[in-house]
Amino acid sequence: MFKIVSSVVALLLLLLGSAFAMPAAKDGCGTMECSKCHSLTVKEAGELLSFAGVTVKSIKPAPSHGMHEVLFEKDGGVGIVFIDYGKKHLIQGMIIDLKTKEPVAAHEKDLPKPKQFTGVDPKLIPVQHAVVMGNPKSAKKLYIFTDPDCPYCRTLHPELQKLEKLMPDLSITIMLYPLRQLHPQAYDKARVVISKKKRDLLDKAFEGKELPKIKGDEGKAAVDAIIAFAGEQGINGTPMILLPDGKVYQGQRTAEAIKAALEGK
């Protein structure tokens, strides 16, 4: 549910760590199927993921060595995450085949086929629920669908703060889109920020700082509207960066790179 480049980086880091942690082939691992040495039951996975409130449906060896692929269900939807053989780390994202450049998954047949998203008409985006960074009166707008608990979104947010300074005439339209299956606490955080629409609360959310407690149904209708819109359009990952014409931005997530794209360079 994340951009391919970021998922590949996370995967490379995992594999590099595994290369030093795994025993040599002469000690037994590497001379037989990994599942004979490393196992994870549905019950164990359920206990490890209990904090997320998901129901674990199935465990399979991941397409990449060193990980278990976990199929889970929550709120009527399904998804996958990965747990390392040491049962110490949870990995979110996709595994990409370097030859085909396509996502691969052991549970591929069990996953719904997401709508391919290439962009959207900016006029359709429910910007009345947005929190705006930069110049709210600017005609040039950048749209960001982002989740306050998504690690990739948290990396992007400081770059957006830099972009504000690089392009003071830009309106950065923040659409808070919590991925509840992966980040159950993000929903209430998004509600707080959207209901108050205070910039300091937006920054605190992405810095992982404590926010005020949500009261009643405040912010609920707005967040639900963004979630519904994103689902209808096929936006199934965060962060999703849309250029002023509504097309998906493909490139490095740095302030300088986004500025160059906006300027047509």
Would you state the pLDDT for residue 131?
96
Model confidence pLDDT, tens digit, residues 137-186 = 999 999 999 999 999 999 999 999 999 999 999 999 999 999 988 898 99
> Does residue 193 contact residue 185 with C-beta atoms inside 8 Å?
no
Q: What is the pLDDT of residue 18?
A: 40
Fold of 4-17+32-108: Nuclear Transport Factor 2; Chain: A, (3.10.450)
pLDDT tens across 210-223, in order? 999 998 999 999 99
Helices (H), 100-171: 151-166
Say if pTM beats, i.e. exceeds, 0.75.
Answer: no
Tokens of 183: 């980040």
Nearest residue to 23 (alpha-carbon basis) of 85, 108, 107? 85
Give the pLDDT of residue 77: 84
Query: Which pLDDT does position 114 carry in this prediction?
Result: 60
| The predicted structure's pLDDT at residue 12 | 39
CATH placement of domain 122-260: 3.40.30.10
Q: Any idea where the domains of the chain sit in the sequence?
A: 4-17+32-108, 122-260
In the prediction, which pLDDT does 116 show? 66
**How confident is the model at residue 33, as a pLDDT?**
63
37 Cβ neighbours under 8 A, 6+ residues apart? 28, 29
Q: What's the confidence (pLDDT) of residue 217?
A: 93
User: Which residues in the chain show pLDDT less than 70?
Assistant: 1-35, 113-116
Mention every residue, 6+ apart, whose C-beta is less than 8 A from residue 125: 143, 173, 175, 229, 242, 246
| Cis before 114? omega within 30 | no
Which tokens belong to 129?
A: 């629920």
Q: What is the pLDDT of residue 14?
A: 41
DSSP assignment of 22-51 equals: SPPGGGSTTSS-GGGT----HHHHHHHTGG
The token pair that represents 191 in the structure block: 């509600």
